Amino acid sequence: MMNKTLLSTTIAAVIATQTAVADYQIEEVVVSAQKREQGLQDVPIAITAFQGDFIKSANAELLDDLVKYTPSLTVQNTTQGEPNIYIRGIGSNDFGVGGDTSVGVFIDDVYVGRIHGALSDLADAERVEILKGPQGTLFGRNTIGGAVSITSKRPGDELAGKVKVEGGSYNKRRLDASVEVPVTDEFAMRVSGLINKRDGWKDNDFDDSEVENEDNSSVKLLAVYRPQDNFEAMFKLSYDDVDVISRGPQSTNPLYANGDAYDNINSDLGKKGLEARELYDASVHLSWDLGDYTFKSVTAYRDTDYDSRKDATGTGSRDARLRTNIFMQAEQYSQEFRLNFDNGGDWIWFAGASIFYEDVSQGSLLESTNETVKYVIQDREPLIAPFILPDFPDGEDYFETLENNGEYYSYAVYGDATWDFAPQWELTLGLRYSLDEKDHYLASNGPEPDKKVFFGTQDFPGIVYQTAEPAENDESWDAWTPRAVVRWNQTDENMFYASASRGYKSGALTAFCLIMILIPSMW
């Protein structure tokens, strides 16, 4: 278990320090990082914002395509379903369902609970905001390193549409289409779809297959209903699918491969390698304009199914085979209420409350061979290896399994207020209270079927997933995360600010039981 908090203090002199990447003309970039629409120059946060026109001109398909334009952002995207996102060096590389990320991803104000669903195509993105540093007050849990906020394109007031067809090397084919329909004066809708395919750019010498291919598609419906001037309802339904041949690592050991990490791979997994993901997303966004007040409600559901089968050693040899199979399914429900106040005076504030529920399960299967297991035993337990190795005859496959299930609850109340206490000076104070509860079940089954060693007298515990009694954990964590900012608007172009904020990451429960071989001595 672990519970992490981080206090970050930033003093910045800003002459448009925030990076606004727009098209080739100067225009105001509008962001919603502080839960209200503001010009980028008016936001005292280290933020990089990308408008839809730039995303299009830069041919950015995924978040990692924006890394070269975003200082302090790193996305290690070996697979679309298991990315490592870091901001200012803070991130997570644990894909188990017992923990959470350190950089929160939000799509249309909805938190993405599993990192497996964080990377989706940006073809229909109106804006991407990358906030650096702890965002505990503004965005809540699991934003200890920062937050990524993605906003979808909304339907316009006129009939419009587009069809974009692209082609490229390795038989690249990409179709991006959308249509916007103002059905009535009160109701408009936008439907968008994407099909993206590309052959693999790397060959597998073992079976002449191709890896590193692309095969993803998506469809989204976004409808806006305005029956009166002070009320708006937005409905969103989306589906996203990825189905590619996983690559896995490339062995540089000349005994098993060609020794060149940039050359062809040599894996006996071949076309059986898999990375498949399906995302289902539905949300309802309600907004009431009550004069000086605006009340918003966001109700959301998200379903993520992710399967992967990868070669962890990158060889075609039975002497060094290690394949990992992950089967993950997660359902999440969330509700947020937020009240904003702005009467044009010296005070602007918002307050809100949210609840988040997630039901997750993850199965893990390790595929290996007796030949590989014997090498591991000889390396780890050389003294007792002679008494065990005869129980692992060559030519037989070897398996281990692990099972995870969890139910997670998160609650939060928060507020943030800005006071113009003097000409050109502002003070912002914010505070959020977060409570996380996790019920987690772990069953580490070890070898399947059970394996006897020491002349049939002892159970073999396994080389990766330890045989153990099922364990149930019920834990909770909470935190207060404050925020304070002082801003001086020297001129319309120059701004100086000092900020201090505290981030919060909910506790984690182990989802993988990794061990050394521990077999009791026979003496």
Residue 211 lies in a domain: no
pLDDT at 162 over 50: yes
Residue 67 lies in a domain: yes
Distances (CA, A) of 436 to 94, 250, 429, 433: 19, 40, 24, 10
Q: Is the peptide bond before 520 cis (omega within 30 degrees of 0)?
A: no
Mean pLDDT of 443-461: 82
Residue 470 lies in a domain: yes
Mean pLDDT of 38-53: 83
Strands 425-447 and 397-422: antiparallel
**Quick check: helix, strand or coil at residue 117?**
helix
Mean pLDDT of 411-440: 93
Report d(CA 240, CA 222) in Å as an integer.
14
Report d(CA 9, CA 503) in Å as an integer.
11
Residue 218 lies in a domain: no
Contact 224, 232 (CB under 8 A): yes
Contact 192, 124 (CB under 8 A): yes
Q: Which of 304, 329, 299, 303 is nearest to 236 (CA)?
A: 299
Mean pLDDT of 286-296: 96
Question: Domain residues for 467?
Answer: 2-161+238-247+272-508
Q: Give, for 509, the enclosing helix (H) or strand (E).
A: none
Strands 293-311 and 323-342: antiparallel
Report d(CA 429, CA 433) in Å as an integer.
14
The first and second tokens of residue 151, run together, are 């906003």
Q: Write the pLDDT tens digit of every residue in 190-203.
A: 999 999 999 988 88
pLDDT recorded at residue 411: 95
Task: Please state the domain count of the chain.
Answer: 1
* Type of residue found at 306: Y
| Residues contacting 226, CB < 8 A, separation 6+ | 186, 187, 232, 233
Residue 175 lies in a domain: no
Report d(CA 292, CA 344) in Å as an integer.
8
Report d(CA 267, CA 315) in Å as an integer.
5
241 vs 458: which has the higher pLDDT: 241
Report d(CA 114, CA 155) in Å as an integer.
28
Q: What is the pTM assigned to this prediction?
A: 0.86
* Type of residue found at 35: K
User: E strands of 160-292, at which residues?
Assistant: 160-168, 172-182, 187-198, 202-204, 209-211, 214-228, 231-244, 274-290
DSSP characters for 445-498?
EEESS--EETTTTEE---SSB-----EEEEEEEEEEEEEEEEEE--SSS-EEEE
Residue 80 lies in a domain: yes
pLDDT recorded at residue 516: 34
Residue 352 lies in a domain: yes
pLDDT at 19 over 50: no
Report d(CA 267, CA 249) in Å as an integer.
9
Contact 116, 160 (CB under 8 A): no
Q: Write the pLDDT tens digit of every residue in 136-153.
A: 788 877 788 899 999 999
Q: Give, for 55, the enclosing helix (H) or strand (E).
A: helix 52-57
pLDDT recorded at residue 240: 96
246 vs 430: which has the higher pLDDT: 430
**Quick check: helix, strand or coil at residue 69?**
helix
* Type of residue found at 170: Y
Q: Write the pLDDT tens digit of every residue in 91-149.
A: 887 777 888 888 989 999 999 989 888 888 999 999 999 998 888 788 877 788 899 99
pLDDT recorded at residue 453: 83
Residue 364 lies in a domain: yes
Report d(CA 70, CA 160) in Å as an integer.
32
Unique residue bearing structure tokens 């990794």: 514
Contact 57, 23 (CB under 8 A): yes
pLDDT at 328 over 80: yes
